[in-house]
Amino acid sequence: MATTIRKSAYFSMKTPNRAGQGARLLTGLAAHGVNLLAFTGFPNAGGAQVDFVPYDVTKFTRAARKLGLKISKKKSVFLAQGDDRPGAIAAIFGKLSRAGINVVAMDAVTAGRGRYGAMFWVKPRDVARASRVLRARS
């Protein structure tokens, strides 16, 4: 199977960098039936930043409001999935590089059974062009 790339919405928020915060957020969203395509978190300015990539944006924003979460406005992220092979991520970087588009950040992982997944960000001004270059689905 070839690599598929899609442009998705994501939302960020700041949270204390303490044990249990991620579990609290994810359990609360799950209780409201929110399915996430991806989730990432990392230390940031003495706290933590978490990013949510929801399957259903409306359901996520409704649940976030009910839970009192202070999420960012909707932003764009790219998700890649495909057969794991040497150079799979390099091919994506190469296409973007040739178009003069910088990847701001990327998380990638093997998914087992010969598959991989990745999420990556470009600057907001480059999202539309990256989408065209990569033939990303929305």
Please give the pLDDT value at position 1: 60
Rounded CA gap, 54 and 59, in Å? 8
Structural domains of the chain, ranges and CATH numbers in brackets: 10-74 (3.30.2130.10), 76-134 (3.30.70.260)
For residue 70, what are the contacts with CB-CB under 8 A and spacing of at least 6? 13, 14
Tens digit of each residue's pLDDT (9 = 90 or more) over 77-116 = 999 999 999 999 999 999 999 999 999 999 999 988 999 9
Q: What is the pTM of this model?
A: 0.92
Residue 3 has pLDDT above 70, yes or no: yes
Q: Report the range of poorest mean pLDDT among 51-60, 63-72, 109-118, 121-130.
A: 109-118
Rounded CA gap, 9 and 57, in Å? 7
Please give the pLDDT value at position 2: 82
122, 61, 50, 36: CA torsion to nearest 10: -80
Strands 115-122 and 75-83: antiparallel
Residue 137 has pLDDT above 90, yes or no: yes
SS3 127: helix
